[in-house]
Amino acid sequence: MAKYRVQNPATGEIIETFESATDDQVEQHLKAADAAYREWKEQSVQHRAGVVRRIAELFTERRVELARTISTEMGKSIDSALEEVDFAAAIFDYYGVHGPGFIGDYEIPSSVPGRAVIEQLPLGVLLGVMPWNFPYYQVARFAAPNLVLGNTILLKHADICPRSNLAIQEILEQAGVPAGGYQAVFTSHVQIAAIIADPRVQGISLTGSEGAGSIIGAQAGAALKKCVLELGGIDAMVVLDAGDVAGIAQAAWENRIYNGGQVCNSNKRLIVMDDIYDEFVAELVRLADGLKPGDQLNLGAGEYTPLSTRAAAETVDAQVRKAVSEGARLLAGGVLSEGPGAYYSPAVLVDVPRDSASYREEIFGPVATVYRVHSDGEALGLANDCALGLGGSVFSTDTARAARVASKLEVGMAHVNIIAAEGADIPFGGVKRSGFGREMGPVGIGEFANKRLYFVAE
Please state, in angstroms and as integers, the Cα–Cα distance from residue 31 to each residue in 122, 224, 276, following that order.
Answer: 18, 21, 61
**Active-site entry in 161, 264, 283, 362:** 264
| Residues in Cβ contact with 18 at an 8 Å cutoff, skipping those fewer than 6 apart | 2, 4, 5, 162, 186
Q: How far apart are CA 441 and CA 458, in angstroms?
A: 37
Would residue 338 show up in a list of annotated catalytic residues for this protein? no
User: Measured between alpha carbons, how far apart are the two ends of the chain, in Å?
Assistant: 67
Would residue 161 show up in a list of annotated catalytic residues for this protein? no
Compute φ and ψ for 51, nearest 5 degrees.
Answer: -65, -45
Instruction: Please state the separation of Cα 361 from the chain's center in Å.
Output: 18
Sheet with 449-457, side-by-side order of all strands: 106-108, 114-122, 449-457
**Active-site entry in 230, 283, 439, 447:** 230
Nearest to 333 by CA among 308, 316, 352: 316
Q: How far apart are CA 254 and CA 236, in angstroms?
A: 15
Residues recognised as catalytic: 230, 264
